[in-house]
Structure 1
């Protein structure tokens, strides 16, 4: 099915005029940008000449700078309990849906207070596919590589037709033509670029998987994957496995009572897969007297977990209805169906070590080596939380958005469990441990209060952070979704419970908790109102602060706690004097190609980032460091090269007066060139007249000396970060006094500190420190920032014989200081 509308149709359905209006900055209160440089959240002044909801389409056209090829189709309108009206829009380009391109207009009392969402700037894209849907599907199936698929099973096909009451229903994927950001290529010329793609919903039966697969409609390459399956009338008395003996609403059946009820939404139903992989062949659990005792169900088959799944679904439904006034996961009373005793490979004698939401139903395995049956209460709340996410923010299941998808599910698992514990007096449960009841060896899957305990980061890009990737798959956990979720988990824990300390990037924090109920309301509004499919952690911070402001008012204790909790996990500034400046829309700067060179290292204060190519631009404004006015600062940086080291021109800009540009006197703090592959350093002085607060630092590396702080250039890369200035004066609008910038790049400090030879190396790389101290540790990362395991370091030598040919970054330490240097394996 090709989902394509004509521009004329979209205009009739509520699209915008083809002429973008001039930007009106006088009405803007603040603006936050997405990583692609388009507005994520724009907040408006509501007094005086405020925007009216009746002009919503014109507001979008103006603020998003729509061209004649862009259309925004209004999809729905919602009102909430705070008096807001939210108009939802879907982006189209030349009549083709832009995947994840959704935008919302938020208004109260007829005045537009803000707009938010994800907008893709698409220009000059060929929308006539070279590949038809059939050929593209073959590429998708080759990528999935399953043994069997659901549509190949006649029984499952018949079951779907019955379930949907539609004789034409089928699991066989039907192609939809969309515009999709290329998220699965290492080619820097294509990475992150809008691509015409075929979208397929591919449901594999063996091994089990279900995901949206996106195929380039011209080249046939796989450009995206978004997992749908996320890993992890009567009243019965049921002796459950994990929650004691509970009273459960259920129904009647031939021969007794079953686990079906109609008192919540369209119903809650629990079935027995009988250690098989078929939903269609699943049967009811039947009890003759409706007293489901331990003697009957605490057996070798673990039949007592059927009660846990049924109770978990009911408790989860009740949580969303009572706390958030949400009617089931879709807010329309959707039936919640659970299947226990599921086994993806029947007959092999090994139980299924997982639980998941497959886009339609809940599925629970019986566990094997690692797990007991996986139907514990917080697991139920977690998995149904994925369904809530699917119906709200729909966070793509990869990299940062996927980590937040997992994190929100952990949050809802904890909240469901906490409410049930308080309501029923349950024992053996720990609110901020996830899966503590299903681990055979004890412990838990994750800890929200101490993520490091189970190998998760509690700080953005801190200890245990997994690098994001252009090729998310099960091997790399879709870019670390089950690991990097620790950052959101810890944010929620601090927001609800409070805490203080120093995080992994050296920031001392103190958060006053607001309680789990208020924290949950802030988290839910963040997820359901402001976040979109491709949101990052930086966007989540902005969204959460807006959500807390909506709920509790600007300057409230809840807003302060929300802001400080994000600061505690390394995202953005703390509340108070270091909050981001208002209405600063910076010009774009980007290298067209990173095929030969890119920025691979930046360090200033607590900013310390090693990276591969970022497609010509990296938005690191969620990462910050503090500098004092009048202080001397040393910044370090280096180039990554695909092969030959070229002469590169470096410029570092800091917007000292926070006026949204880098053109004032003294704001070019570094300017010079070097062909060195070593880490370069330069020293500059922060002027005493700099304005207090958060501002932007921009680093530009280009092959052209004439490159400025704005615009595109041929080869190289730009990176932006946040600098928090303290102790400065409030500058006048006209600019700042001139300073003497660091105009010379000093490549000697770290070049002399560590020497590598021979370089290039084929077998052994010798490491010599200028201090004559022995090197006590050495680690190697590739140009993507991933740590390399197959190297051995001993006695000052690094055995590199097992490495593939290429360029690597060596991090070496003498036990006190750490040095970075590149080497070539040939």
Structure 2
């Protein structure tokens, strides 16, 4: 039987199809996940213009085709060093949180650049539980099977650990990562003996435990401390009435290290105290291994310094959170067996003394690894099972290696030097049985895979789906882009990956983890995220993008790098040249005279002038007028890093205004970090000061040209590196000292009224007022050159005043 639709339904279907087609025309790149839902959407110039100013939730509702049952609730808004704003939303279905599903909108300068995340398409799921909270908790505790729980101890905070149930929608992970979505009770269960802490999810209808997400993952003075693993180190600490102790407040809210005295109580822990702040080997290299307290303390300081110095992140939560470490922890005191583990429990660091397998677990890479879990919890929140859990472990190993390298190669410059360490071995200083826990440069040698679902890949259910094994794939990918390598992988495919250096590689990994990855991300998602991060940081078609892509291919995730043939630039055009246009442009060997070019001229095929990196250059230009010489706003942009946009720091090289028909000139300096090769220069002349590099505007013209940068930096150049070079913005200098003429508004700020004076004292034929959102404002009256603003709310407004031929714009503040 053929489907039959009413006229209204057909109209609705037609409207939906039209909207979907329109959205498709605005998309530059769309990456779909295994569920056929988008995990990354990047917009072209049309899309950026279409979604500019649209609320982030509305963008997502439109692009993800949300129904009335779907809700997105804003969780966080952060702005990064590149000037991007990232607004993250949590997904809800019929008011119930969809666990691990989130979506982000990435914008720059008010323009939505891309969206990314994990959206779960849900239909017909029953959100009414048949199992109550108390019964569900019994099932959760039965699955943990601990002898004692934290709320049953004498700890001062014991009562706060009693689990409270929350209804959520989560994926049943008992059969891997593609199980069905179910309604479940979520509990935070903290066990004291044996130690464990995890989110336990109990199906609210069947009573089965469908997922366990481990929180505990696994295994103002300056003194000198003879540490066990890093030599004699300077450590920041504090003082008491009886000496010095391992507490300091110079980093964030502080770094504190305590002695559990081989017990399992945090509240019973005491300070390590030294009389003269010279923590010598004779005093602390004893049978209790008290010297490892210095390793934990210095390791926490080095980790804080790394995150602050390299990634501008203020502690693990990016808000200066205190880092508290507890040494000599033993989960079962008095049993004669040392605790062979170290973990982050969601709020503090805990270190055992080891026994037959490990030495005390406070080596720097272990410290940085565990704090890395805290960073992951506050960023991507990768679920600790299967592929997402393997990447959770892998990222922590990455931070262990990166902090070690930073401490040895950077911190050593300020003191006697950190004891040499093996960057690509994890836990080499604590392992008694083998060379290390893991090798990032040769995962197979320590029974980890170097290839996705290849040799050594774990397919069982133990270790949360092999999180400590399958992390080898991410580890090896990171090693390849850091150190570079040419070879043949285990599938017999040749690869060549260029070295980016460990710092640049870490910046890519961190941007992927903090901006693009979500709780349930897979290795395929990580490939998409790191490629996007490389483009953000170092530009499209950069050496970084190529290395990242080829490294993923080498480890069996995706194809090799293929350069984009053309860098696409946004559109910029004046809609009218009836009154003015660009009639002359000169830079080096480029000198072009023209009449009006219908609002836009593409001169990129002309012979390109050469401009040397680090040199001073002068650009000349002039306006042609049909009659009166009106005030024009000039902007010259150069895409220094070749990434297809003009919005990176320092790429607006000239900005100024003039009402002169004579030739104008401006001088700018090409940054030494500019990318060698051909790129685009854009000149915009507009009657509106707010016109940017990607506008369709009323009066004026845009012209594009190719310029060749010589003597620049290597292709790997971060756009953020040119930030702060204010000399890049030149000054427009009218030849002949002809003064600029523009709309005058005074007083500014104003309280009751503003006086409006047009160039040449022309008569205003219309006046329009808009607020900071661009919305038209009513209620202000204009008469005899004066605008009454007494009824307006405080804030900034824009006046658009016409003399019958042209429209002039000016901002003012209402107090």
TM-score range, shorter chain: 0.5 to 0.7
In structure 2, distance between residues paired with 1:65 and 1:20: 13
After TM superposition, give the deviation of residue 185 of structure 1 in Å.
4.5
The answer to whether the aligner puts 1:465 opposite 2:480 as a matched pair is: no
Q: Which has the larger radius of gyration?
A: 2
Query: Which residue does the alignment assign to 1:89?
Result: 89
2:332 is matched with: 345
- Indicate yes or no: 2:115 matched with 1:115: yes
TM-score scaled by length of structure 2: 0.65
Would you say 1:449 and 2:441 are equivalent positions?
Answer: yes
- CA shift, 1:75, in A, is 1.8
Whole-Å separation in 2 of the counterparts to 1:255 and 1:129: 58
The number of equivalent residue pairs is 544
Of 139, 146, 160 in structure 2, the residue corresponding to residue 170 of structure 1 is 160
Match of 1:203 in 2: 190
Q: Tell me which residue corresponds to 2:239.
A: 252
Q: How far off its partner does 1:384 sit?
A: 0.3
Matched, 1:498 2:472: no
Aligned to 2:312: 325
- The answer to whether the aligner puts 1:130 opposite 2:135 as a matched pair is no
In structure 2, which of residues 171, 181, 186 is the aligned counterpart of residue 181 of structure 1?
A: 171
Match of 1:381 in 2: 368
Mapped partners of 1:426, 1:191: distance in 2:
46
Tell me the residue number matched to 2:543: 557
Separation in 1 of the partners of 2:496 and 2:422?
24
Q: 1:399 aligns with which of 386, 391, 405?
A: 386
**1:413 equivalent in structure 2:** 400
Structure 2 residue aligned with 1:303:
290
Aligned pairs (5 A) from 1:477-496: 477-496=463-482
Question: Which of 519, 522, 533 pairs up with 2:505?
Answer: 519
Task: Confirm whether residue 548 of structure 1 aligns to residue 516 of structure 2.
Answer: no
Task: Look up the match of 2:34.
Answer: 35
Q: Provide the rounded CA distance (Å) in 2 between the counterparts of 1:105 and 1:484.
A: 30
What secondary structure does 1:230 align onto?
Answer: coil
Residue in structure 1 matched with residue 516 of structure 2 by the alignment: 530
- Please say if residues 233 and 418 of structure 2, whose CA atoms lie closer than 8 Å, have aligned partners that are also in contact: no
| Mapped contact 2:26–2:46 kept (Cα < 8 A) | no
Q: Deviations over 1:682-710 (max 9, x none)?
A: xxxxxxxxxxxxxxxxxxxxxxxxxxxxx
CA distance in 1, matches of 2:541, 2:481: 16
SS of residue in 2 equivalent to 1:86: strand
- Alpha-carbon distance between aligned partners in 2 of 1:89 and 1:255, rounded to the nearest angstrom: 50
Name stretches of at least 5 consecutive residues in structure 2 with no aligned partner: 1-15, 569-815
Secondary structure of the residue that 2:469 maps to in structure 1?
A: helix
Q: Within 1, Cα distance between the matches of 2:170 and 2:492? A: 38
Say if 2:408 and 2:420, in contact at 8 Å, map to a contact too: no
Alignment partner of 2:42: what SS?
strand
Please name the residue that 2:250 is paired with.
263
Distance 1:450 1:304 in 2: 31
**Correspondence 1:312 to 2:302:** no
| Higher mean C-alpha displacement, 544-553 vs 106-115 | 106-115
RMSD: 1.9
Deviations 1:583-625 (A, max 9, x none): xxxxxxxxxxxxxxxxxxxxxxxxxxxxxxxxxxxxxxxxxxx
- The offset of 1:39, in angstroms, is 1.0
The secondary structure found in structure 1 opposite 2:228 is coil
**CA contact under 8 A between 1:184 and 1:191: conserved in structure 2?**
no
Q: Give me the TM-score of the superposition, normalised by structure 1.
A: 0.64
Secondary structure in 2 aligned to 1:546? Answer: helix
Given that 1:370 and 1:439 are in contact with CA atoms closer than 8 Å, whether structure 2 keeps it comes out as yes
Structure 2 contact 541–564 (Cα < 8 Å) conserved: no
- Deviation of 1:85 after TM superposition, in Å, equals 1.1
Aligned-residue offset at 1:192: 1.7
Structure 1 unaligned runs (5+)?
Answer: 1-17, 161-168, 583-826
2:143 corresponds in structure 1 to: 143
Give the CA deviation at 1:46. 2.6
Q: Deviation of residue 191 (structure 1)?
A: 5.8
What are the superposed Cα offsets for residues 129-156 of structure 1, whole Å, 9 maximum, x if unpaired?
1111111101100011111000011x32
CA gap 1:50/1:557 in 2 versus in 1, 3 angstroms = farther
- Deviation of 1:442 after TM superposition, in Å, equals 5.0
Segments of 4+ in structure 1 off by > 4 A? 18-21
- Matching of residue 436 in structure 1 with residue 423 in structure 2: no
The alpha-carbon distance between structure 1 residues 489 and 578, as it changes in their structure 2 partners (threshold 3 A), is farther
Q: Does structure 2 retain, via aligned residues, the 8 Å contact 1:19–1:67? A: no
